[in-house]
Amino acid sequence: MNKYSKHIFRTSLLGQSVVVLCGLDGNKFLFSNENKLAVPWLPRSIHKMFPYSNNDKISLVDEAKKLRKILSQFLVPDVRQRCFCIMERVVKQNLATNWDNKRKVTVLPLAMKYTLCLICDLFLSIDDPAGIEELGAPLEQLRAGLFSLPIDLPGTSYSLGLKASKFLMNKLVLIVKQRKIDLEQNKAPTTLDLLSYLLLEVDDDGNLLDESVIASRILGTFIGAHEASATVITFTIKYLAELPGVYSEVQKEMMEIKNSKVPGDLLNWDDTQKMKYSWNVVCEVMRLVPPIQGTFREAIVDFDYKGFSVPKGWKLFWSTSSTHKNSDYFSEPERFDPARFEGKGPAPYTYIPFGGGPHLCPGKDLAKLQILVFMYHVVTKYKWETVLPDEEINFHPFPKPAHGLPILLQHENVQGIE
């Protein structure tokens, strides 16, 4: 194989030799042939931090399907209004504590705090600040170690990540055990959270899941749901500050919804379906700054692609950048244009912020709600401007403003649309 080609090339990522498939055709080929020619694969650094992922009997695709089925339960009519109640309460608490009466705030850490509080409540029914804080710091250490070189020496990101993973697993196992005790004593939460669903799950042999398997699934869900959504929120705030015309249109749409509601009424599903322009804005943010840069696959058979032979066992990678900023698929790709997502939107396999195929992000629909609810409360309450207009963006592995996106707030409630 030539090292470089327009459609396929070989490189090194995280110390692993990989083949990168590019463009619409590459994405379609990988996503359409998942489990036929290739399967999801994780680097060694991740395997050791998630015990269940190191079990050859457990398919990552099957795990994603099971998790998608569980998370879809949060969006059925009888349950989703509870999600809105939690989201609104968490947003209002976070804004009151961390945004109100502040002239300057740094968005990324506050967005991380919001998403952490939200998933602790939705997934574990934990709303105690001390309990949430106990999980926050080790989660940060774990994330830092996930995509580092797997060198287990004292003080390295990988070593600290392993310790954080062990701490979190032990903590989550204790939470699972306590929930079982509470259920026996009729002290458990009456509402269903992620833990409740997992306690009802059975394995392929019909047995209830082991406590460590439940803990590992919850930990994996936390990693996926926490930073990705916070990243999208952060860059949405950034673009709304830089593009006043876009901010005005989002504000107008959100205020129409707010003005149609009786004071004290919570957001509901129908409200979010009216946030079409706002969601197009978020989609354009994710096109320009996708929360994930791509994921790995492993070839399970020899196959040919675009005249190149890929042997069984080779690692593969798809990348959002090969289509998201490619003028073949998006005209003037560096220009911010939410109208790209009107009507049918981008061509299939060109816009892939949540991946694709059977391994599509299980929590994408829930993430949409938590982003829109946050957006609604922020744009109907504040205006803002960035402190560092040309702030550098770092990647490890999620994109991050180098200084966390400091902004200056204008504290004024918008009173309606003139």
pLDDT tens for 353-382 read: 988 876 677 788 889 999 999 999 999 999
DSSP-derived secondary structure for 348-396: TTT--TT--GGG--TTHHHHHHHHHHHHHHHHTTEEEEES-TT--EEES
Q: Is 27 within the bounds of a domain?
A: no
5 conformational bin, left if phi > 0, alpha if psi -120 to 50, beta if neither: beta
The pLDDT of residue 112 is 96
Cis bond leading into 397, ω under 30°?
yes
Distance CA 66, CA 194 (A): 12
**What's the confidence (pLDDT) of residue 75?**
76
Q: What is the pLDDT at residue 416?
A: 41
- Classify 338 as helix, strand or coil: helix
pLDDT score for 57: 46
Return the amino acid letter for 111.
Answer: A
Does the residue 327 lie in any domain? Answer: no
Closest to 378 (Cα-Cα) out of 228, 230, 226, 237: 237
Distance between CA atoms of 99 and 378, rounded to whole angstroms? 10
* 248 within domain boundaries: yes
| Nearest Cα residue to 87 out of 55, 123, 48, 141 | 123
Does some domain include residue 11?
A: no
Q: Could you tell me whether strands 382-386 and 315-319 are parallel, antiparallel, or unpaired per DSSP bridges? A: unpaired
Kindly give the parts of the chain with pLDDT less than 50: 1, 57, 414-418
Q: Could you tell me if residue 298 is inside a domain?
A: no
Query: What is the number of alpha carbons within 13 Å of residue 107 lying toward its C-beta?
Result: 30
Q: How many distinct helices (H) and strands (E) make up the chain?
A: 14, 12
On whether residue 220 sits in a domain, the answer given is yes
Q: In terms of residue numbers, what domain contains 234?
A: 33-292+353-411
Q: Residues annotated in the binding site for heme, as ranges? A: 361
**pLDDT at position 71:** 79
Task: Identify the CATH number of the domain in which residue 374 sits.
Answer: 1.10.630.10
What pLDDT does 368 receive?
94
Task: Give the mean pLDDT of the chain.
Answer: 89
What's CA 360's distance to the chain center, in Å?
12
Residue 231 domain flag: yes
Query: What's the domain count of the chain?
Result: 1
**pLDDT score of 415:** 45
